[in-house]
Structure 1
Amino acid sequence: MSADQVAGVAPAAGAHRARVVVTGANAGLGYFVAEQVAATGARVVLACRDEGRAARAVESIRQRYPDADLEVVIADLADLASVRRAASQIVAGGPVDTLVANAGVVGSKSRETTADGFELQFGTNHLGHFALIAHLLPALTSADAGRIVHLGSISHRWARLDLDDPMLTSGYRSYRAYSRSKLAVMTFGFELDRRLRAAGSSVRSVVAHPGFALDTLTEKRPGIVSRRWIPSPVVGLLRTVCQGKDQGARPLTYAALGADVRGGEYWGPDGWFQLTGAPALVRAKKHAMNRKAAARLWNLSARLTRLQPVLE
């Protein structure tokens, strides 16, 4: 079974070849989204921080799909200057049908900062993508029906935004920083769609999450996926509540290309507690859609990045 069939998105013969940008496409979820999207015949722009790892991802995808239409753009979401350069290169290549805003940082033992002085996880996961989206909106608008997919997380259920201290200058905890950054991503994603609709834009903003996805359960991809050996009984136990990142990528791929996906929706696995399963329309917690918090987050993000997304 091909990756596109696994993802639930079938190639359309004779259809427009979509141009899909995937950030963090050299590893983890981003790699498998890129592979699954490439299987549909779409052109995939792998936006990666490291040129060598990007080259290995291209080689891995072409081992399975020799005719895959791929290009690489170097983009470090933790550096706004790098984001600006990457966006300029992407825009020069023409319209963008879909942006999968996947790249991010998961965990940091101590508080670290980006090149621009932002707390690393908030600065990379949210602010880096906020800036990239602001730069790419003209290219998304020029597509027939542009789409932005934001990578959410089940961790948003237990997080609350603290916009008085978004950089966690006090009381830093790695998991708290991560979950708040993902809640910020989701809050922005839902608010962006509301504002796009109000502006009469054809661009849609969608949020998707992978469930509980682990490298340990992921399909082998030499040079891409690092899996440590664990006993078979443990693997069986893990599969009751977890899945591989190849499976976790499926809701993101579906959100990126699915014909029935609508703006403002939230996609994830259809299994128990949204931990595993096939792509499905799921529910986010109400606090991720709080309009007041979203407005504050938008204004804060625009001030910090010195960018204001132009919606039209």
Structure 2
Amino acid sequence: MSADAGARAARDGSRRTVVVTGASAGLGYFAAEQLAAAGHRVVLATRSRERAAAAERSIRRHVDGAGLAHVHLDLADLDSVRAAADELAALQPEGVDAIVNNAGVVGASTMQRTAQGTELQVGTNHLGHFAWTALTLPLLDRRAGRVVHLGSIAHRWARLDPSDPLGASHYSSYRQYGRSKLAVMLFGFELAERLADAGSPVSSVVAHPGFSLDLLSPERPDVASSRSEPAWTRPAQRLYAQGKDAGADPLVHAAIAVGVRSGEYWGPSGWMQLRGPAAVVRAEPRAHDRAEAARLWVASERAAGVAFALDALV
């Protein structure tokens, strides 16, 4: 998606403050660039200060007058998550309008773990964001903001272990990635329900990028590795995939567009949700399973050592 398309998502013309996790590369970078192009202040929440600085330089080259800030956040370390939430509160005491929980990892062939011992993909993609959302929710409440969770079509083939929702039985990187994204979506939809029950003005929206490839994305030399695939492959790939700039479209729309409702699921509107303009799309029913979401919620609060004080937001 172009910067102009990002600007069109801000239909009411108001300037907002949006936090994007993992904003130094890939989908997160393009979401940050598009939000800045739409006139919003963007806080890049990233693990690497050096990569964040490179992303800032790149955004400023493409967006005149971009309003940018940085918070150091390592979602694979809950101590870093707590420190980042404190840093964001000091940076934005008046609150924030949206937080886009974009950052994520794809694990190696052998299982890795976070600083606190959870399998890396579930620990980063879901549990780190779970804790981050709980700790930053008061900032969203001050501005009646939105939290956007990055889902994936990979949730279609995933199942969580009811006895151990954060576990990694029969580990494979692909299987565990799907589990992590199913956990993200269960959390995002369940949070929408609990926020509504509490009468909170905060909304929770899930979005996914379809099948988004670096090869089909605009060149950003400072924030992406050089392309190795031959250019002649791109026309065929565009039949079923899109660039990460286009993949960022549903995230940007979910974060700032007028009329987005809590509990919605945004993604590409084309065949199998692989590519196309952003629209409300369908998730698998198990992503809306409230009994499974409740088990995941309890396990996540225990593992993260945080609790959602939803009643305090009213």
- TM interval, short-chain normalised: over 0.9
Contact 1:137 1:310 in 2 (8 A): no
Equivalent residues in 2 for 1:1-150, closer than 5 Å: 3-6=3-6, 8-10=8-10, 12-13=12-13, 15=14, 17-92=15-90, 93-94=92-93, 95-143=95-143, 145-150=144-149
* Amino acid paired to 1:112: Q
Tell me the distance in 1 between the aligned counterparts of 2:118 and 2:71. Answer: 23
Question: Residue type matched to 2:287 in 1?
Answer: A
Give the Cα–Cα distance (whole angstroms) in 2 for the partners of residues 51 and 6 of structure 1: 25
Superposed CA RMSD: 1.5
Counterpart residue identity of residue 20, structure 2? V
Q: Tell me the residue number matched to 1:298.
A: 297
Matched-pair contact (CA < 8 Å) for 1:122–1:166: no
> Structure 1 residues 61, 118: CA separation in 2 closer, same or farther (over 3 Å shift)?
same
Shift of 1:192: 0.2
SS at match of 1:292: helix
Q: What is the number of equivalent residue pairs in this alignment?
A: 309
Tell me the CA shift for residue 41 of structure 1. 1.1
Aligned partner letter, 1:261: V
Q: How does 1:212-227 map to 2 (within 5 A)?
A: 212-227=211-226
Structure 1 unaligned segments of length 5 or more: list them. none
Residue 235 of structure 2 aligns to a residue in which SS? Answer: helix
In the TM superposition, residue 222 of structure 1 has moved relative to its aligned partner by: 1.1
User: Is 1:198 equivalent to 2:197 in the alignment?
Assistant: yes
Amino acid at match of 1:182: K
Deviation at 1:42, TM superposition (A): 1.0
| CA drift at 1:40 | 1.3
Aligned mates of 1:225, 1:274 — CA distance in 2:
25
Is the alpha carbon distance of 1:195 and 1:247 closer, same or farther for their aligned partners in structure 2, counting shifts above 3 Å? Answer: same
Q: Is the 8 A contact 2:205 2:264 kept in 1?
A: yes
Is the CA contact (8 Å cut-off) linking 2:7 and 2:38 kept in structure 1? no
CA contact (8 A) 1:2 1:39 kept: no
Amino acid at match of 2:80: S
Q: Residue 6 of structure 2 contacts residue 37 of structure 2 at CA under 8 Å; is this kept in 1?
A: no
- 1:7, distance to aligned residue in structure 2 (A): 6.4
Q: Is the 8 A contact 2:6 2:35 kept in 1?
A: no
Answer whether contact 1:106 1:178 (CA < 8 A) is retained.
yes
Instruction: State the 1:235 CA deviation.
Output: 1.2
Give the partner amino acid of 2:29. Y
